[in-house]
Amino acid sequence: MDTSYSDKTGLLHSLKEVFRDEVYKFKTDSDQPRIIDAGANIGLSVRYFKHQYPDAEIVAYEPDPAIFKLLTDNVGSMPGVDLRNAAAWTENTTLTFYSEGSLAGSTEIDFLGQQKSMTVLAERLKDEVSLKPVDFLKIDIEGAENSVLFDIEDQLENVDQLFFEYHSTPGKPQQLGDLLNLVSKAGYRYTINGAHGALHPFVESVSHGFDLQLNVSCYRGVPGQ
């Protein structure tokens, strides 16, 4: 299957993460699971979900208009896929978005430090989550999870399995502890993988972007049962 992409490095990273490492692999008894993909990028995660569950209903958010075009090229014709050219956020509004051209576009940080910003639409994720039960919620929104997860806290009872990528922004308070307490309170157990940060954090810092990234997988009961 042909894939439209913005840069080779980002594509190879995503192919490894999504299809080889299967970071989004989950099990459900539903033949038609409802999946929300906040931060769908060019759509490799959507393809993975559809490969696992062909009849899945997927709502996918991507705010960057150039990346959204690639997303549409790659998965827009798939049945049961609802693409939103918007950022998943805490209200329906517009936001300043820093385009990076690949995987790190963000409303929170100018990853490239080039002041290449634009205004994008934002939709309140809570509204979508509250419509009906969600089998799998993926949140990879480059730092905005630190606001969005608190906004949807009282709707997490609607979500069976949750994946979020945690991002720590230099100069801002780190909220990982609060987020882990939030998901524990909502009845999840969690596993943390995929740490990205300074190799020797006591004596060095990251040169740009986030100073810590983690994959947090949240589930109920015993996985696979």
For residue range 182-197, list pLDDT tens digits in order: 999 999 999 999 878 8
Architecture of domain 8-210: 3-Layer(aba) Sandwich (3.40)
Round to whole Å and give the CA distance between 18 and 103: 13
For residue range 13-46, list pLDDT tens digits in order: 899 999 999 999 999 999 999 999 999 999 999 9
Contact 174, 212 (CB under 8 A): yes
Strand partners, 58: 35, 81
Displacement of CA 148 from its chain's centroid (Å):
11
Round to whole Å and give the CA distance between 208 and 27: 36
Q: What is the pLDDT of residue 16?
A: 93
User: What is the residue extent of each domain of the chain?
Assistant: 8-210
More confident residue, 117 or 139: 139
Residue 101 has pLDDT above 80, yes or no: no
Confidence of residue 224 (pLDDT cuts 50, 70, 90): low
Q: What is the pLDDT of residue 104?
A: 63
* Whole-Å CA distances, 86 to 94, 118, 119, 125, 224: 9, 12, 10, 10, 33
**Ordered DSSP codes for 171-200:** TS---HHHHHHHHHHTT-EEEEEEEEE-SS
Contact 46, 54 (CB under 8 A): no
* Whole-Å CA distances, 29 to 36, 45, 80, 187, 188: 17, 20, 18, 20, 18
For residue range 163-180, list pLDDT tens digits in order: 999 999 888 999 999 999
Q: What is the DSSP letter of 106?
A: B
